[in-house]
């Protein structure tokens, strides 16, 4: 099956192409640095190559890559200690009023997510980038499902409050 990839290299290349956006985006949204995200992605796929014989199915490959991408991104984040560089208070106001779907709102949300502590930040990335259920996030992060749900609720409440103070919300869009 996938072990043949060790000999041919074809399946490995296909796996890289198939999952590169997922792996790169997990690192990018967590680290907010494209160069670091690419470095993490390369390390993840290099690790996949070394462990290819253990991969049993395409679904196993997808889950394995997601889990390793999460671990490597967190490790890189700790190494670079990026999180303290962005405090909630430092996040700039959008230059103009925002509407649903406005790129300025998306950028503001990415910055706000970047200010979250490590665990809730990765929970948010996996929930809203990968559309994973809490149980799947719990498996990827090796934490209880209840903790995942707690992180989601608290993070959403925090972001909602920060946006409301900027006049951004369902009942009062600016602009």
Partner 1 sequence: MDWLEDELRRALAREDAPDGLAERVMARRALAPSGAPRWLAAAAMVVVAVGAGGAWRQHQGNQAKQEVMLALRLASAPVQHIQSEIRGITQ
Binding site for partner 1 (CB under 8 A): 9, 12-13, 16-17, 20-25, 28-29, 34, 38, 41-42, 45-46, 49-50, 100-101, 105-107, 109-110, 113, 124-125, 127-129, 131, 156, 159-160, 163, 169-170
Rounded to the nearest whole angstrom, what is the least distance from the CB of residue 59 to partner 1 in the complex? 18
- The CB-of-63 to partner 1 minimum distance in angstroms stands at 16
Q: Pick the closer one to partner 1 by CB: 13 or 78.
A: 13
CB of 86 to partner 1, least distance (A): 15
Six token digits for residue 175: 């602009």
Return the exposure string of 20-31: e unless at least 16 CB atoms fall within 10 Å of the residue's CB, then b.
Answer: bebbbbbbbbbb
Q: Cβ contacts of residue 22 below 8 Å, gap of 6+?
A: 62, 65, 66, 69, 130
Length of the chain measured in residues: 175
Identify which of residues 34 and 78 has a Cβ nearer to partner 1 in the complex. 34
What is the Cα–Cα distance from 30 to 73, expressed in whole angstroms?
7
Decide if 31 contacts 76 (C-beta within 8 A).
yes
CA distance 116 to 32: 12
**Alpha-carbon gap, residue 22 to 79, rounded angstroms:** 22
Nearer to partner 1, 32 or 138 (CB): 32
Rounded to a whole number of angstroms, the minimum distance from the CB of residue 75 to partner 1 is 19
Between 49 and 78, name the residue whose CB sits nearer to partner 1: 49
Min CB(152)–partner 1 separation in Å: 10
In eight-state DSSP terms, residue 93 is P
Which CB atom, from 154 or from 160, has the smaller least distance to partner 1? 160
């Amino acid at each position: 099956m996938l072990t043949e990839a060790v000999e041919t290299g074809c399946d490995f290349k296909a796996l890289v192409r198939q999952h590169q956006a997922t792996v790169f985006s997990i690192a990018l949204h967590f680290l907010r640095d494209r160069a670091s995200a690419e470095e993490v992605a390369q390390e993840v796929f290099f690790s996949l190559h070394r462990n290819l014989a253990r991969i049993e199915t395409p679904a196993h490959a997808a889950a394995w890559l997601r889990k390793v991408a999460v671990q490597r991104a967190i490790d890189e984040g700790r190494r670079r200690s990026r999180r303290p560089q962005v405090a909630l208070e430092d996040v700039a106001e959008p230059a103009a009023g925002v509407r649903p779907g406005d790129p300025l709102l998306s950028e503001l949300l990415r910055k706000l997510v970047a200010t979250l502590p490590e665990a809730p930040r990765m929970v948010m990335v996996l929930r809203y980038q990968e559309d994973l259920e809490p149980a799947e996030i719990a498996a990827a992060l090796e934490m209880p499902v209840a903790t995942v749900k707690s992180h989601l609720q608290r993070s959403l409440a925090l972001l909602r409050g920060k946006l409301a103070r900027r006049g951004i919300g369902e009942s009062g869009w600016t602009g």
